[in-house]
Structure 1
Amino acid sequence: MSQPFDRAATCSAPVAPDLELGEFWEEDPWTIAFRHNLSGFERNRTFLNLGNRQFADISYLTGSDTEGDGRSVVPADFRCNGQMDLLVRQVGGGPLLLFENHFPKQGYLKVSLRGSKSNSLGIGSRLTAILGDQSFVRELYPSNTFHSQEASLVHFGLGTRDTVDKLIVRWPSGTIHEITTLVGNRHILIDEATGTIETVQPGITIPAVRGE
């Protein structure tokens, strides 16, 4: 039985265990893990990237240090405000947990792709955003988490900036697009065939074009 989503969870036996056969049933799975399994009482953790390969444990401060067996984590902008929230699913049951991002709002750029020679969503593309002397790389692989899937777009945090000096898109087909002085704080759609850029309004479904 997997770890439950809290210590109060119990599960009654469907039938009485046969003691002569050595059967037994433990209604509280936490008891099994007590003093025997280090992960039995392990709390979930959230780390904040401080830069320079340093991270701060903000689990307690954010309330994300739940006791559930959180294995599936999806970052997404659920409130369409440019800030990435976190959706967590427990393996052992329990409700979905949505942690809203309440950090001070900063600049961002969301990018969706429409492929032609490549696949319709540009899966496998490599995007590089250049901001001054810094480069940030994202690869579009939405199916990259355990039992969960992210949206088929990439998100760049821009900090205090509101523009991207250069955005380089390398498509699976080998096509390369370079876009300079790109205005941020919006969601854009880049077309592989034409290289054109459209601004996507919140709530709008992006029509895809099938790859050749």
Structure 2
Amino acid sequence: MNTRLIKTLQQVRELLEQAPVIEPGWESKDECYQWIEEILRHFRYRTLLRPDKGLIKRYLTVATGYSRTQITRLINTYLAEGHLRRKQRTINGFSSQYTKADIRLLAATDRLHNGLNGAAIKRLCERAYEQGDQKYKRLKGISVSHIYNLRKSKTYRNIRTPKDVTRPTNRAIGVRQKPRPEGQPGFIRIDTVHQGDQDRVKRCVPYQRCR
């Protein structure tokens, strides 16, 4: 998906509603940082209202695969310095064979096929590449065990992990009925015993019994 065609806030809103996974099309972190800077500059992030800022932040989170905390840090850096520059690491690390785009593609494939086992997903990736889908070029050679490793990654979980939301529950309020606390802890049963009349006044002495 060519995200450079997205020019208005309404287009961003429609994109997020229709496409839970976005394939921006860059290969390096430098290009990713440059794209984030272009988005913030194009939409004039500093002057946006709070709801629109939240929309842009969500757009950047979905498109880059970064966490919301990291996107917030990058935005603050842009607001303070006016640009984004990636700081190079001084230590040598192992290069990753599979990119964030590959992980997002794996998550999309799992969602489409309801989370099949690793062997079945591997075969689906191979078949997709054999049928001409170049996006599966790297995933076609992935091992079954590494599929499960990628499923544990943060990028994958941001897409596939369901988010629990508070669901309303119906509670009966103001219901007048005889309580039946038998066998339930935390209840006190109060019995009343009639003690007869005195001076034509009804007397009722409470008798308490705990269960």
**Both proteins in one fold, TM over 0.5:** no
Range of TM-score over shorter length: under 0.3
Q: TM-score, normalised by structure 2?
A: 0.21
Higher relative contact order (CA 8 A, sep 6+): 1
> Larger Cα Rg: Structure 1 or Structure 2?
2
The structure with the greater share of residues assigned to strand is: 1
